[in-house]
Protein backbone atom coordinates (compact mmCIF):
# COMPACT_ATOMS: atom_id res chain seq x y z
CA UNK A 1 0.00 0.00 0.00
CA UNK A 2 1.24 3.52 -0.75
CA UNK A 3 -1.47 5.67 0.90
CA UNK A 4 -0.63 7.21 4.29
CA UNK A 5 -1.15 4.82 7.18
CA UNK A 6 -4.32 5.51 9.12
CA UNK A 7 -3.67 5.65 12.90
CA UNK A 8 -6.91 3.86 13.75
CA UNK A 9 -6.08 1.12 11.25
CA UNK A 10 -2.68 0.67 12.88
CA UNK A 11 -4.19 0.52 16.37
CA UNK A 12 -6.70 -2.04 15.18
CA UNK A 13 -3.95 -4.13 13.64
CA UNK A 14 -1.91 -4.19 16.84
CA UNK A 15 -4.99 -5.15 18.83
CA UNK A 16 -5.21 -8.40 16.85
CA UNK A 17 -1.47 -9.12 16.75
CA UNK A 18 -0.52 -7.60 13.38
CA UNK A 19 1.97 -4.81 12.72
CA UNK A 20 3.39 -2.95 9.68
CA UNK A 21 6.91 -3.18 8.28
CA UNK A 22 8.62 -1.88 5.16
CA UNK A 23 11.20 -3.55 2.93
CA UNK A 24 13.57 -0.60 3.18
CA UNK A 25 13.89 2.94 4.47
CA UNK A 26 12.85 4.40 1.11
CA UNK A 27 10.06 1.89 0.41
CA UNK A 28 6.80 3.46 -0.76
CA UNK A 29 4.52 1.12 1.17
CA UNK A 30 4.34 -1.41 3.97
CA UNK A 31 3.31 -5.00 4.46
CA UNK A 32 1.51 -6.46 7.46
CA UNK A 33 3.19 -9.05 9.65
CA UNK A 34 1.83 -11.68 12.04
CA UNK A 35 4.77 -13.87 13.10
CA UNK A 36 4.21 -17.57 13.67
CA UNK A 37 6.59 -17.32 16.61
CA UNK A 38 6.50 -14.21 18.77
CA UNK A 39 9.12 -12.81 21.11
CA UNK A 40 7.82 -11.51 24.44
CA UNK A 41 9.66 -10.41 27.55
CA UNK A 42 7.96 -11.58 30.77
CA UNK A 43 7.79 -8.58 33.07
CA UNK A 44 8.96 -10.67 36.03
CA UNK A 45 11.77 -12.24 34.02
CA UNK A 46 14.05 -9.36 33.03
CA UNK A 47 17.66 -10.50 33.45
CA UNK A 48 19.48 -7.85 35.39
CA UNK A 49 23.16 -8.74 35.34
CA UNK A 50 25.48 -7.36 38.00
CA UNK A 51 27.21 -5.11 35.49
CA UNK A 52 23.92 -3.73 34.14
CA UNK A 53 22.64 -3.22 37.68
CA UNK A 54 25.71 -1.13 38.49
CA UNK A 55 25.34 0.89 35.30
CA UNK A 56 21.69 1.69 36.06
CA UNK A 57 22.23 2.42 39.77
CA UNK A 58 25.15 4.74 38.98
CA UNK A 59 22.94 6.77 36.62
CA UNK A 60 25.53 6.52 33.88
CA UNK A 61 22.80 7.66 31.50
CA UNK A 62 20.13 10.24 32.14
CA UNK A 63 16.93 8.43 31.16
CA UNK A 64 13.86 10.34 30.03
CA UNK A 65 10.48 9.47 28.52
CA UNK A 66 8.86 11.17 25.53
CA UNK A 67 11.43 13.96 25.57
CA UNK A 68 12.75 13.20 22.08
CA UNK A 69 10.35 10.81 20.37
CA UNK A 70 11.22 12.01 16.88
CA UNK A 71 14.95 11.77 17.49
CA UNK A 72 14.64 8.22 18.80
CA UNK A 73 12.68 6.96 15.82
CA UNK A 74 15.13 8.67 13.45
CA UNK A 75 18.04 7.05 15.25
CA UNK A 76 16.34 3.66 15.02
CA UNK A 77 15.82 4.18 11.28
CA UNK A 78 19.44 5.06 10.51
CA UNK A 79 21.62 2.70 8.47
CA UNK A 80 24.64 1.46 10.39
CA UNK A 81 27.46 -0.98 9.59
CA UNK A 82 26.05 -4.47 9.71
CA UNK A 83 22.51 -3.19 9.19
CA UNK A 84 22.43 -1.21 5.96
CA UNK A 85 18.65 -1.35 5.65
CA UNK A 86 15.80 -0.65 8.04
CA UNK A 87 12.11 -1.53 8.06
CA UNK A 88 11.09 1.96 9.25
CA UNK A 89 10.02 3.93 6.19
CA UNK A 90 8.53 7.47 6.13
CA UNK A 91 4.98 6.10 6.30
CA UNK A 92 5.66 4.19 9.51
CA UNK A 93 7.59 7.11 10.95
CA UNK A 94 4.74 9.52 10.16
CA UNK A 95 1.97 7.39 11.64
CA UNK A 96 3.97 6.84 14.82
CA UNK A 97 4.42 10.58 15.18
CA UNK A 98 0.64 10.86 15.00
CA UNK A 99 0.17 8.03 17.49
CA UNK A 100 2.64 9.76 19.79
CA UNK A 101 0.63 12.99 19.57
CA UNK A 102 -2.50 10.97 20.41
CA UNK A 103 -0.82 9.51 23.51
CA UNK A 104 -0.37 5.93 22.29
CA UNK A 105 3.28 5.88 21.20
CA UNK A 106 6.13 6.52 23.61
CA UNK A 107 9.90 6.67 23.67
CA UNK A 108 12.53 6.03 26.33
CA UNK A 109 15.74 8.00 25.82
CA UNK A 110 19.24 7.54 27.24
CA UNK A 111 21.42 10.65 27.30
CA UNK A 112 25.10 11.28 27.81
CA UNK A 113 25.02 14.96 28.60
CA UNK A 114 23.12 16.51 25.70
CA UNK A 115 23.89 13.61 23.34
CA UNK A 116 21.21 11.02 22.65
CA UNK A 117 23.08 7.77 23.26
CA UNK A 118 20.24 5.36 22.59
CA UNK A 119 16.71 4.40 23.47
CA UNK A 120 13.58 2.69 22.24
CA UNK A 121 10.06 3.44 21.11
CA UNK A 122 6.82 1.56 20.87
CA UNK A 123 3.06 1.56 21.23
CA UNK A 124 1.03 1.33 24.45
CA UNK A 125 -2.46 -0.11 24.16
CA UNK A 126 -4.47 -1.41 27.07
CA UNK A 127 -2.08 -3.24 29.37
CA UNK A 128 0.27 -4.14 26.51
CA UNK A 129 3.33 -2.39 25.17
CA UNK A 130 4.46 -3.24 21.65
CA UNK A 131 8.19 -2.58 21.39
CA UNK A 132 9.03 -1.38 17.90
CA UNK A 133 12.76 -0.75 17.87
CA UNK A 134 15.66 0.05 20.16
CA UNK A 135 19.04 1.51 19.43
CA UNK A 136 22.43 2.08 21.04
CA UNK A 137 25.08 4.63 20.18
CA UNK A 138 26.90 3.91 23.44
CA UNK A 139 27.53 0.66 25.27
CA UNK A 140 24.50 -0.64 27.20
CA UNK A 141 22.25 2.29 26.23
CA UNK A 142 19.50 0.10 24.77
CA UNK A 143 19.74 -2.32 27.73
CA UNK A 144 19.29 0.55 30.16
CA UNK A 145 16.33 1.88 28.16
CA UNK A 146 14.69 -1.56 28.18
CA UNK A 147 15.28 -1.95 31.92
CA UNK A 148 13.59 1.39 32.53
CA UNK A 149 10.70 0.35 30.29
CA UNK A 150 10.18 -2.93 32.18
CA UNK A 151 10.23 -1.11 35.53
CA UNK A 152 7.75 1.43 34.15
CA UNK A 153 5.45 -1.31 32.92
CA UNK A 154 5.55 -3.13 36.23
CA UNK A 155 4.75 0.09 38.08
CA UNK A 156 1.93 0.92 35.65
CA UNK A 157 0.05 -2.37 35.77
CA UNK A 158 1.01 -3.69 32.34
CA UNK A 159 0.91 -7.40 31.51
CA UNK A 160 2.51 -7.88 28.09
CA UNK A 161 5.74 -6.63 26.54
CA UNK A 162 5.75 -7.64 22.88
CA UNK A 163 9.22 -7.74 21.29
CA UNK A 164 8.01 -9.02 17.88
CA UNK A 165 11.03 -11.08 16.73
CA UNK A 166 13.58 -12.89 18.88
CA UNK A 167 17.22 -11.81 18.77
CA UNK A 168 20.25 -12.91 20.75
CA UNK A 169 20.26 -9.48 22.39
CA UNK A 170 16.67 -9.84 23.59
CA UNK A 171 17.21 -13.45 24.68
CA UNK A 172 20.12 -12.36 26.87
CA UNK A 173 17.76 -9.97 28.66
CA UNK A 174 15.10 -12.58 29.34
CA UNK A 175 12.89 -12.58 26.24
CA UNK A 176 11.27 -15.84 25.24
CA UNK A 177 9.59 -17.08 22.08
CA UNK A 178 6.01 -18.33 22.08
CA UNK A 179 3.53 -19.59 19.52
CA UNK A 180 1.07 -17.35 17.72
CA UNK A 181 -1.82 -18.96 19.63
CA UNK A 182 -0.19 -18.35 23.00
CA UNK A 183 0.60 -14.79 22.02
CA UNK A 184 -2.99 -14.08 20.99
CA UNK A 185 -4.17 -15.43 24.34
CA UNK A 186 -1.79 -13.11 26.22
CA UNK A 187 -2.79 -10.20 24.00
CA UNK A 188 -6.50 -10.73 24.55
CA UNK A 189 -5.92 -10.76 28.31
CA UNK A 190 -3.85 -7.57 28.19
CA UNK A 191 -6.47 -5.74 26.13
CA UNK A 192 -9.57 -7.04 27.94
CA UNK A 193 -11.78 -4.15 28.97
CA UNK A 194 -9.34 -1.59 27.58
CA UNK A 195 -10.29 -1.56 23.89
CA UNK A 196 -13.57 -1.80 22.00
CA UNK A 197 -16.97 -0.24 22.43
CA UNK A 198 -17.11 -0.94 26.18
CA UNK A 199 -13.53 0.15 26.88
CA UNK A 200 -12.75 1.68 30.25
CA UNK A 201 -9.73 3.92 30.88
CA UNK A 202 -9.32 2.17 34.23
CA UNK A 203 -8.55 -1.09 32.40
CA UNK A 204 -5.50 0.34 30.66
CA UNK A 205 -1.96 0.54 31.98
CA UNK A 206 -0.65 3.80 33.41
CA UNK A 207 2.55 4.58 31.51
CA UNK A 208 3.49 7.44 33.84
CA UNK A 209 2.71 5.86 37.22
CA UNK A 210 6.43 5.17 37.76
CA UNK A 211 7.02 8.85 38.51
CA UNK A 212 4.49 8.64 41.36
CA UNK A 213 5.78 5.30 42.65
CA UNK A 214 9.36 6.60 42.70
CA UNK A 215 8.23 9.63 44.68
CA UNK A 216 6.31 7.59 47.25
CA UNK A 217 9.20 7.45 49.74
CA UNK A 218 9.70 11.19 50.08
CA UNK A 219 11.22 12.49 53.36
CA UNK A 220 7.90 13.92 54.60
CA UNK A 221 6.18 10.55 54.12
CA UNK A 222 3.77 11.83 51.50
CA UNK A 223 3.49 10.69 47.92
CA UNK A 224 5.08 13.12 45.50
CA UNK A 225 5.36 13.21 41.74
CA UNK A 226 8.87 12.97 40.35
CA UNK A 227 9.21 15.77 37.82
CA UNK A 228 12.57 14.72 36.40
CA UNK A 229 14.23 11.42 35.48
CA UNK A 230 13.63 8.54 37.90
CA UNK A 231 16.79 7.59 39.79
CA UNK A 232 18.56 4.45 38.70
CA UNK A 233 18.51 2.98 42.21
CA UNK A 234 14.70 3.11 42.14
CA UNK A 235 14.67 1.29 38.80
CA UNK A 236 16.94 -1.43 40.21
CA UNK A 237 14.70 -1.85 43.26
CA UNK A 238 11.61 -2.29 41.10
CA UNK A 239 13.33 -4.82 38.86
CA UNK A 240 14.81 -6.84 41.72
CA UNK A 241 11.45 -6.88 43.47
CA UNK A 242 9.65 -8.26 40.41
CA UNK A 243 12.25 -10.79 39.22
Summarize the confidence of residues 72-77 as an average pLDDT.
Answer: 94
pLDDT score at 1: 46
As a whole number of angstroms, the distance between CA 131 and CA 86 comes to: 15
Q: How crowded is residue 133: how many other Cβ atoms within 10 Å of its Cβ?
A: 20
Least confident of 127-136, 166-175, 198-207: 198-207
pLDDT score at 218: 47
Least confident of 30-34, 43-47, 206-210, 215-219: 215-219
Average pLDDT over all residues of the chain: 91
**In this structure, is the dihedral angle defined by the CA atoms of residues 74, 77, 78 and 81, taken in order, positive or negative?**
positive
pLDDT score at 225: 63
Whether 125 has a pLDDT exceeding 50, the answer reads yes
pLDDT score at 70: 96
pLDDT score at 212: 85
Q: Could you tell me the pTM of the whole model?
A: 0.92
Question: In percent, how much of the chain has pLDDT > 70?
Answer: 91
pLDDT score at 213: 78
Summarize the confidence of residues 121-141 as an average pLDDT.
Answer: 96
pLDDT band at 101 (very low <50, low <70, confident <90, very high): very high
Question: In percent, how much of the chain has pLDDT > 90?
Answer: 77
Whether 215 has a pLDDT exceeding 80, the answer reads no
Summarize the confidence of residues 92-108 as an average pLDDT.
Answer: 97
Amino acid sequence: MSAPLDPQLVLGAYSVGVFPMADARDADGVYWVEPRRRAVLPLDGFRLSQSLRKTIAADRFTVTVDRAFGEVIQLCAESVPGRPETWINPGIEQVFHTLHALGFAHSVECWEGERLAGGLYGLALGRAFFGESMVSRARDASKVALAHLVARMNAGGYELLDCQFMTDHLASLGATEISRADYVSLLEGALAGAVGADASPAAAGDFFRLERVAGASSPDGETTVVSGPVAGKDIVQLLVHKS
